[in-house]
Structure 1
Amino acid sequence: MPNLDVWAPRVLSLLRIIAALMFMQHGLMKVFGFPGPQEGAPDPLPLLLVVAAWLEIVGGGLVALGLFTRPVALVLSGQMAVAYFMAHAPASFFPALNHGEPAILYSFIFLYLAVAGGGIWSLDALVRKRP
């Protein structure tokens, strides 16, 4: 059986990049309607959703680059936990019924990144290597 441990830091970086780029789309949809409008988003957006959208855009971009990964991921994990309990949990106890699975998954992915860091393919790793 091959030793897959050597791939763990690389796959961590891939998880970080892909999750962050997908997360950014939610903010881009709210603010710019790109790649399409956010389904069910009110127009105009209330201040809370404007703040959430910019956290998704800027925070997602920083996490995708792997810059300040740990603190930014911790903030985004909290944002998704709050989003789940404010927007999804009141509809039903079960995430499959309240459509809250993405918020839960993002919350735990970002929590993991807050603990694990950005991996070897990150600007954080590049900065750490400098003398």
Structure 2
Amino acid sequence: MPSLDSTGRLAPYALALLRIFTALSFISHGTQKLFGFPAPPSWGMPAAFTLPWTAGVLEIVGGTLVLVGFMARPAAFVLSGMMAVAYWMAHGSKGFYPLLNGGEAAMLFCFIFLYIAAAGPGAFAIDSRKG
């Protein structure tokens, strides 16, 4: 069965869409923690320099780097590691299955960021500009 794009020419654009929409979603977790937007966290706003506050800073700063594709590989690698730690700290102890332990988002963010770190940012990235 022939593929829709047998030459792979659409792959950089599909990767860019994955990168951009993942980053936008990830940034919203940071804005929730630090600014209470779009809604404050159910557990309350974190105090400055605590682990959740630091996570919020990484979510906003790292997410923005991935969003625009600037230093996207190292940023995505750091965020992948952060989400692996977050999964095991907050969800893994609640059971094996991500669906049941509430860790689906952390697991998906972890592996999407790991893929971006390995594959690069795709199209429409500052890192991809020829200069």
TM-score (norm 1): 0.92
Which among 14, 19, 23 is matched to residue 17 of structure 2? Answer: 14
Identify the residue that residue 95 of structure 1 maps to in structure 2.
98
Measured after TM superposition, the shift of residue 40 of structure 1 is: 2.8
Which among 62, 65, 78 is matched to residue 62 of structure 1? Answer: 65
Measured after TM superposition, the shift of residue 3 of structure 1 is: 2.4
Identify the residue that residue 82 of structure 2 maps to in structure 1.
79
Point out where structure 1 has 5 or more consecutive residues left out of the alignment: none
Identify the residue that residue 5 of structure 2 maps to in structure 1.
3
Q: 1:45 to 1:97 in 2, by over 3 A?
A: farther
Distance 1:32 1:42 in 2: 8
Point out where structure 2 has 5 or more consecutive residues left out of the alignment: none
Distance 1:91 1:98 in 2: 5
Which among 35, 38, 41 is matched to residue 35 of structure 1? Answer: 38
Q: Secondary structure at the match of 1:35?
A: coil
Kept in 1, the 8 Å contact 2:68–2:126? The answer is yes
Which among 108, 114, 117 is matched to residue 114 of structure 1? Answer: 117
CA RMSD of aligned residues (A): 1.5
Q: Secondary structure at the match of 1:40?
A: coil
What letter is aligned with 2:12?
P
Kept in 1, the 8 Å contact 2:87–2:106? The answer is yes
Identical pairs, percent: 49
Q: 1:111 to 1:97 in 2, by over 3 A?
A: same
Matched, 1:23 2:38: no
Kept in 1, the 8 Å contact 2:47–2:53? The answer is no
What letter is aligned with 2:79?
L
Distance 2:43 2:96 in 1: 21
TM superposition outliers: structure 1 runs of 4+ over 4 Å: none
**Which deviations, in whole Å up to 9, do the C-alpha atoms of 1:2-59 show, x marking residues without a partner?**
4251111001001000000000000100000011112234554661111100000000
Higher helix share: 1
Kept in 2, the 8 Å contact 1:20–1:64? The answer is yes
Q: Secondary structure at the match of 1:93?
A: coil
Kept in 1, the 8 Å contact 2:46–2:52? The answer is no
Kept in 2, the 8 Å contact 1:9–1:119? The answer is yes
Measured after TM superposition, the shift of residue 76 of structure 1 is: 0.0
